[in-house]
Structure 1
Amino acid sequence: MRLNHVSAIVTGAAGGIGRAVVRALLESGAKVLATDIDDARLQGLKDSLAPDHHARLRLMRADLGDAGSPPRLLDGAEQAFGQANAVVNSSGLGRAIYTRDLLTDPPPVWDIDFSAWHSMFDANTMSPIRLINAAVRRFRAGEWGRVITITTSLDHMLANGSGPYGPSKAALEAYTSILARELSGSGITANVLVPGGTVDTPMVPDIPNLSRESLLSPDVMIPPLQWLLSRDADGVTCRRIRANLWDTALPPEAAYQAASAPAGWWDLAAGQQRRPRMPAT
């Protein structure tokens, strides 16, 4: 699937999923500004890519927690490629920042230090929102754009030991759902993409009784991601897509229908809205 029309900012680009995203976008003809917090890892990403893709790649170190980073990234993409019209957010922190033994000894929510809550919400919620808000303001001038937030499956949001991780991802999904509806008809879509299981990335530590062979490959994200960025997905917005349910043997539209649901629990909200309001007491 060709994506020559796409100029994307990919966050968390040096991580496991981010690397897969950058490689796939470049192979599809897209232009990519890859950003991460570590220069050495960004250079490692570039070194891992085919040299003929380097002309459509820019690297930029950025701390997304810094309010000055979003305009700098957007300016960098515009200077390099003439525009930015997509954001793929794959940055964030995992549960390993507060536990190394999630499977056998998940920490109760009340015992997780509040510093982990601050770190998790800053990295997984506030930083992506800061960049996306800045990007959307510019996308609106071009009347076309894509926002794809990579979050986590509902069972991971709610699992024992998910402490600040689950709520931080849930907040980002709720934001994406609100964003999508407020952008309706603008030509800009906003969707959530989740792996559908634990992905084999450096974010996942070696845990007793965990077989890494049982984990999903980061490449599971690529077919739905490419389709969401394509013009075939114009008008597809406010959806959560589970990548491991995407059947590449099907036509993309059929695969999308089988793998998607409303983002941000709008199916539940719609049912709630139909209920009669209780009188105030």
Structure 2
Amino acid sequence: MKVLVTGGTSGLGLAMASALATAGATVALTGRSGRRASEVAAELPGAVGIELDVQDESSVAKAVDEAWSRLGGIDMLVNNAGIGMRTVNPRFMTHSQGFWEVPADGFRAVIETNLTGYFLVAREVTLRMLAAGGGRVVNISVSESTMHRAGFVPYGPSRAGSEALSRIMAADLRDTGVTVNVLLPGGATVTGMLPLDAVPEGRKFLEPEVMGPPIVWLASDDAAGVHDERIVAAEFERWLRDRNGRR
């Protein structure tokens, strides 16, 4: 399995890239710094690092072309690159900010990265997958509560948009051989997006590694043909048991 993981230098992306590489997949991971991406990839078996700014169409085209060439194709795209609330409100965990206080350039940056970025990368990769006869797209999302919680503009809307995008992508690609699914941790997760120094004492969070088992399964033969599913990583084992029980 040849997998492209965007935003793979830290957090959820790194956890997924590591799990996939350890399971035997050939992984290309991306980051805005090509040097950083290469350094991180060097720590994973058989992985390669590629520079990618998901907001930039030319960067997307160049990175996908490089990944396709270096991997010998792309069987699965993991759309993960994103930025969080800290970019517009560093104290968002303890000091809620009304949407009217959000700077327009900060709003645009989050939407451009978390939503438009998913669209640009998926569009570039899907064209190639369709020509190759098939492939898999996994879009990473968050809990629904984040999409309507006070103080979560623009992050919440960006992730709600990515979920709607995923459903429409799945509808557009039905019966084409290219599958689309959504994967989310299932709760607040310890990543660079979370200012842990501002978190109430005693509150527990998920670790990024929770994404490992479901992303490895989605890359496996068992997941061939799985389409238009929304999988919660923290509930993956139960979801899989229920799914197998329905078959």
Please point out which of 11, 17, 28 is paired with 1:16: 11
Task: Tell me the TM-score normalised to structure 1 length.
Answer: 0.81
Please point out which of 41, 44, 48 is paired with 1:46: 41
Give the corresponding residue for 1:92.
Answer: 82
Give the corresponding residue for 1:185.
Answer: 175
Deviation at 1:40, TM superposition (A): 4.3
> 1:144-187 CA distances to partner (integer Å, 9 max, x unpaired)?
21111111110111111111111111111111100111111111
The number of equivalent residue pairs is 245
Distance 1:16 1:213, change over 3 A: farther
Within a 5 Å distance, the mapping from 1:7-156 to structure 2 comes to 7-49=2-44, 53=45, 56-156=46-146
The question of whether the paired residues in 1 share the 8 Å contact of 2:31 and 2:53 is answered with yes
Task: Tell me the TM-score normalised to structure 2 length.
Answer: 0.92
For 1:99 and 1:189, locate their aligned partners in 2 and report how far apart those are by CA, in whole Å: 36
Q: Could you tell me which runs of 5 or more consecutive residues in structure 2 were left unpaired when the two chains were aligned.
A: none
The question of whether the paired residues in 2 share the 8 Å contact of 1:100 and 1:207 is answered with no
From the CA coordinates, give the structure whose radius of gyration is larger: 1
The question of whether the paired residues in 2 share the 8 Å contact of 1:157 and 1:169 is answered with yes
Deviation at 1:209, TM superposition (A): 4.0
Secondary structure at 2:123 match in 1:
helix
Task: Quote the sequence identity (%).
Answer: 30
Secondary structure at 1:202 match in 2:
coil
Give the corresponding residue for 1:174.
Answer: 164
For 1:199 and 1:255, locate their aligned partners in 2 and report how far apart those are by CA, in whole Å: 25
Please point out which of 176, 180, 184 is paired with 1:194: 184
Secondary structure at 1:26 match in 2:
helix
For 1:119 and 1:101, locate their aligned partners in 2 and report how far apart those are by CA, in whole Å: 18
Distance 1:125 1:36, change over 3 A: same
Tell me how large the CA RMSD over aligned residues is: 2.0
Q: Could you tell me which runs of 5 or more consecutive residues in structure 1 were left unpaired when the two chains were aligned.
A: 1-5, 259-281
For 1:121 and 1:147, locate their aligned partners in 2 and report how far apart those are by CA, in whole Å: 20
For 1:173 and 1:229, locate their aligned partners in 2 and report how far apart those are by CA, in whole Å: 20
Which aligned segments of 4 or more residues in structure 1 are displaced greater than 4 angstroms?
A: 255-258
Deviation at 1:129, TM superposition (A): 0.6
Secondary structure at 1:68 match in 2:
helix
